[in-house]
Homo-oligomer: A and B are copies of this chain.
Amino acid sequence: MALIVQKFGGTSVADADKIHRAARRAIRAKLDGKKVVLVVSAMGKTTDHLIALAREVTPEPPRRELDMLLTTGEQVSIALMAMAIQSVGHEAISLTGGQLGLVTDSRHSQARIQNISKERLFKELDDGRIVIVAGFQGVDETGEITTMGRGASDTTAAALAAVLGAEICEIYTDVDGIYTSDPRVVPEARKLDAISYDEMLEMAGAGAGVMHSRAIEFAKKYNVPIHVRSSLTDQPGTMIMEKTPGMEDVAVRGASLKVDLATIVMTRVPNEPGIAAEIFAEVGKHHIVVDDIIQNFYDDRKLANVGFSTNQDQAREGVEVCRRMAEARGFGPVELDENVSKVSVVGVGMRSHAAVAARMFEALRDAKVNIDTISTSEIVISCIVPQEHGPRALQAVHKAFELDKAHPST
């Protein structure tokens, strides 16, 4: 019997009516002859409210206790969802991460899944129940409650779909799919019918906030198709899946803007083996998030500039860490730019289209956007630009690659 995993985000379970609507979707899948596993997030703004409550008690809540606090949000949702399904005469049972047997490592607030027990899940499914699982949470081997980071309910859903061999993992949300770009910035942005795992990973990393990266990694690893779609309509959304032959016709699938970044550059760093490792070990020790890293040599190749982008709210701390290192080691001054954004284009097709980078830089030049730094990977080209140029840069790039026009294959 086919098995389906459906995940409902916070906006899709924000009140009793929405919970009933999500319940009806699950029941419909059940009546279609499927085994159904639901993963739900905390209702609406619950997680934000709980964090605010914790901050009223202490500015820096200890992570173990924050996990203890935040997991209640999903527990409320699963109980209400089970009630909703049972209230219309169908069997359902809610399970916490611990009851399900979703075991993570012990890193509170950023735990990673280590094992998912199938026993309880299959027992309940075989008994004809819709199983409702609390997203975002697990337990470590000693029974301590853990969470896997904001947005990790997607990861719970994808991991369950992978482990259970689901035919599909449906992600219900308040948007109707993945767009070529952020429609709030680029009004011409177009919904994609399909996108590859790799493209989606890069889009997520480049600032497209629709899905949690680790969820896509799970889906890619186990080749589970993900369907991102609206909880309000029955229209198809966007399939995230292995690339199909048709998809290759497009050089660039989408364009993203990541805002609120800062860049920190350490100048005149000796170009010695291991120096970058040392710098980023120190930065990591202070839990500074590192977005992209860019290193350039001076012309004599004996010195280098080592730079990285980070979140604006960590910029000051990051600079302090780097300055201490620079002073201790006799590097040059540390430069900070607190107001930058990153515009990126993503597409598996650009591997075979050498002209993509040139087209992007021309588009930015024509839009009079200064490019601070450039970094590329096989399927992404990213430019750091001044924050105030960000939206204009995104619009220009989106237009240059004709992302607003439907391609036959997508």
Which residue, of A76, A78, A86, has the highest number of chain B Cβ atoms within 10 A?
A76
A112 is an interface residue with CB less than 8 A from chain B: no
Given A72-B75, A83-B62, A86-B62, verify A57-B20 contact (CB < 8 Å): yes
Stretch at the interface among A48-56, A221-229, A253-261, A386-394: A48-56
Interface SS, A side: helix
Nearest chain B residue, comparing its CB with the CB of A23: B57
A54 touches B79 (CB 8 A): yes
Footprint of B on A, CB under 8 Å? 15-16, 19-20, 50, 53-54, 56-58, 60-62, 64-66, 68-69, 71-73, 75-76, 78-80, 82-84, 86-87, 93-94, 96, 98-99, 143-145
A78 touches B84 (CB 8 A): no
CB distance from A334 to the nearest CB of B (A): 33
A57 touches B76 (CB 8 A): no
* Residues on B with beta carbons closer than 8 Å to the beta carbon of A69: 75-76, 79-80, 83
* Residues on B with beta carbons closer than 8 Å to the beta carbon of A82: 62, 65, 68
CA distance A65 to B56 in the complex (A): 30
CA distance A143 to B96 in the complex (A): 10
CB distance from A91 to the nearest CB of B (A): 10
CA distance A96 to B65 in the complex (A): 11
B75 touches A58 (CB 8 A): no
A-B contact pairs, 30 of them (CB 8 A): A15-B56, A16-B56, A20-B57, A53-B76, A53-B80, A54-B79, A54-B80, A57-B80, A57-B83, A57-B87, A58-B84, A58-B87, A60-B87, A62-B83, A64-B93, A65-B94, A66-B79, A66-B83, A68-B79, A68-B82, A68-B94, A69-B76, A69-B79, A69-B80, A69-B83, A71-B75, A72-B72, A72-B73, A98-B143, A99-B144
Nearest chain B residue, comparing its CB with the CB of A93: B64
Which residue, of A54, A65, A79, A94, has the highest number of chain B Cβ atoms within 10 A?
A79
